[in-house]
Chain A
């Protein structure tokens, strides 16, 4: 009896020993992992709509004594008038710096800086974000200022002058960096005269008056035109009361959004070059992409992951960087536009003499995507990567609320996250080939190269052909007006 007990004890010790010091496997593929379950939170559990139309996603978060808020407001530079490009951006920054009916801009800066609170307003193409980051103890003071900025900005003339100088300075520096040039000019080649390609100039900035900003603010800033995400070390009910209080008197209003022109999706294929005295060619080539609500979006994401979106696991990086040593940064993007189609493009930067060769190699991969099924192993890597990383959408309470707000802002369904993993899982390699055939057009592309034109054209020994192989070569002159 005793002996049996001793034996079983030894056995238990041995077993537990073998668990903690189990034999090392000889290859990572032999590692066994315990299953991991993760269910995403439901946006509707956190969503509240106030009587003034304001939509709020809110979650208490007591880990740290912080208050974080971010609002998405449907007011972007896409609504700039053509002769006043830059208006939305100026309006946004002046709301933050130009004072309110109750406080001057300087008073606001001094108050916020002293309590280490940040209020930021950032204007992009389709929306403006207005955010707060402060200590939870300062919620009352910060919220009051935040609401005041959104409701009662006065756009002080002196501050307008200061901001215009900064904007003009940025315009003058715009063409210093080849990276910026390639992005801006590729947009311009694809979107042509559409507002999506517009950039402010000295003239359009000088055209903008204080009254224009007052009007832009009056037209777009309203509680029913914003969705707010909040995470805070504070009681949810009390915080909502505070929000109602600071925004009281700010009423719902009908907003007449301007009718935006359609994008002309015809393109003029060819090679376009811009002269810059640098030792590499900065290259971007492609055509139109898709819209976010496209039913093929998941298959497209997998397709682009395999082509050039999945860093070292993608074909473009493997060939151009890893095998050939031609570049440090390369890949492809499948743009998912919200209202208009985004842009699909491949990119690479390589020394002038390998510019034609790098383009040739990448283009070959694009073509292959439209001709052959991808490998099972590529499918597995792409799917597993996207599925296994999924919990990161919810890494903090604030990230989660912000993602939910953005989801609704982009008119995506509430069950987007719930269905996300299954949608990825269900994509087949036949789907990938089908969407590649449908959405990739290797014979109808715009190739943009910023670099030393003659050296890029000359190429090197690795590629026998010339840039003409990709289309007629056109030279673009950058607007010299930016320097004036």
Chain B
């Protein structure tokens, strides 16, 4: 999980820089909005005849509530199961069978989870047997992973999808003569998804969750996160709780799909060897007649202010680690631009944490600072692993981290330190432009939040950060009542 965060941080780094190359390097994004609200973003790059085609929906785990946690992610999986024309040889037959399966599964669900008394195991077994027979029958009409295979054999690469806290994305890179294929398939599954093979896919997702659970320290980090957020929907992971995955019904699923998978809740991004005029006319042709939906309500529950320190202790077959988390403002708040500068000052071999905790004091084996604004909340984290071979403890490292945090409040950072971080942002921003995939990802996601131009606005804000800002922000947010501390110790 930490590595995931570091990765997110790196991506953040990539797009946060000052702008001395601004003249030559401005983002040349062309945009178009269809009548139904679907936004199209385009960037021309003609090096090779390939096009990165992404579509992002404004839906993620923050849109869930207890009972359906993990549904955004499961939904992403189900979007590969086909439509009325994809993944099926006889839609009518398939639908009849599928409806029967749903009926039986509903009965099993009520028997298993709604009864106060013990469920009737025999009944469940009988229904399950019927389901198995129907599944076998349905296989005759299913064309396995049709959409995936169609993309593949047409030269699709970087073929994938992912679900995050706020956004779900569907990705493929195609030969430039085949962008129409993506328009066909994506508009088809936006308008007519059919969720066949729902119950076995739930099991796949539960295996995916187990895979995460078996990473060293996962359970502790999951607990820590849910303690850190007391009310905000960031308090559960994208994977969701296993009990919700078990109970989630087809009905939940159809409602969720109807609410969020609408053109006015999505953005389609094309980066590569394209002709924007052609993209627009293809988009009109394929996405144009999908009806506009009702704009979903923004997330209601923001994290209330924390009033006291929270501490979590745990043990696992994982290295001992201290994690100190602070609530910070969401992306879009003026203070948010200061946090990348803080992490820049702290990290790396020339950063304060390495120099002090590792090199000079020999207290830690590794130490990082990372985080920043998300859409509806923010968090900034300091973490370190004590050098146990030298007999150093988690408590000593925690104290040392506070020492560094206090220094942020009391001493202005040097000009050179701040300039170094700004230089790195500028460079990493330029580097990021070299990669069509990341570019598509950044502009697409930001578009759904504050608009893609905010990427540049944010850079401008970062560039203006001064030593006083760092002290002010540190004093404001890095305080005891605003923190959650996690101490994970290796199980002996």
User: How many chain B residues touch the partner (CB < 8 A)?
Assistant: 77
Nearest CB of B to A83, in Å: 22
Q: How far is the CA of A26 from the CA of B91 in the complex (A)?
A: 14
Residue from B185, B416, B434 with most neighbouring chain A CB atoms (10 Å): B434
Residues on A with beta carbons closer than 8 Å to the beta carbon of B396: none
Q: How far is the CA of A14 from the CA of B387 in the complex (A)?
A: 76
Q: Are B285 and A109 in contact (CB under 8 A)?
A: no
Nearest CB of A to B256, in Å: 20
Closest chain A residue to B280 by CB distance?
A: A20
Q: How far is the CA of A178 from the CA of B424 in the complex (A)?
A: 36
A21 within 8 A of B: yes
Q: How far is the CA of A64 from the CA of B358 in the complex (A)?
A: 36
A65 within 8 A of B: yes
Flag the segment in A123-131, A386-394, A402-410 that touches B.
A386-394
Residues on B with beta carbons closer than 8 Å to the beta carbon of A318: 144-145
Q: Are B48 and A391 in contact (CB under 8 A)?
A: yes
Closest chain B residue to A178 by CB distance?
A: B214
Residues on B with beta carbons closer than 8 Å to the beta carbon of A34: 177
Q: How far is the CA of A391 from the CA of B208 in the complex (A)?
A: 33
B431 within 8 A of A: yes
Residues on A with beta carbons closer than 8 Å to the beta carbon of B387: 165
Nearest CB of A to B135, in Å: 9
Residues on A with beta carbons closer than 8 Å to the beta carbon of B149: 312-313, 381
Q: How far is the CA of A277 from the CA of B315 in the complex (A)?
A: 14
Flag the segment in B64-72, B198-206, B228-236, B462-470 that touches A.
B198-206
- CB contact between A349 and one of B154, B159, B211, B433 (< 8 Å): that residue: B211
Closest chain B residue to A159 by CB distance?
A: B359
- CB contact between B185 and one of A28, A317, A326, A388 (< 8 Å): that residue: A28
A385 within 8 A of B: yes
Q: How far is the CA of A25 from the CA of B286 in the complex (A)?
A: 10
Chain B residues 197 to 233 lying within 8 A of chain A, measured CB to CB, are 197, 199-205, 207-208, 210-211, 213-216
B419 within 8 A of A: yes
Q: How far is the CA of A415 from the CA of B95 in the complex (A)?
A: 52
User: How many chain A residues touch the partner (CB < 8 A)?
Assistant: 77
Q: A24-B286, A38-B49, A64-B433 are in contact. Are A109 and B350 (CB under 8 A)?
A: yes
Q: Are A396 and B47 in contact (CB under 8 A)?
A: yes
- CB contact between A113 and one of B25, B86, B348 (< 8 Å): that residue: B348
Q: Are B181 and A328 in contact (CB under 8 A)?
A: no
Contact with B along A314-350 (1 / 0, CB 8 A): 0001100111111111000000000000000000011
Q: Are B50 and A395 in contact (CB under 8 A)?
A: yes
Flag the segment in A166-174, A368-376, A432-440 that touches B.
A166-174
Q: A116-B423, A323-B200, A391-B175 are in contact. Are A280 and B148 (CB under 8 A)?
A: no
- CB contact between A280 and one of B152, B175, B214, B318 (< 8 Å): that residue: B214
* Chain A to chain B: the 9 pairs with minimum beta-carbon distance, closest first: A388-B155, A325-B203, A116-B427, A325-B200, A328-B208, A312-B145, A176-B216, A312-B148, A384-B153
A116-B424, A134-B427, A323-B139 given. 6 additional CB < 8 A pairs?
A65-B430, A66-B430, A165-B365, A166-B365, A312-B145, A395-B48
Of the A-B pairs whose beta carbons lie under 8 Å apart in the complex, a sample of 13, sorted by A's number, is: A28-B181, A109-B350, A113-B350, A312-B145, A323-B139, A324-B200, A328-B205, A381-B153, A384-B153, A384-B154, A385-B153, A392-B173, A395-B47
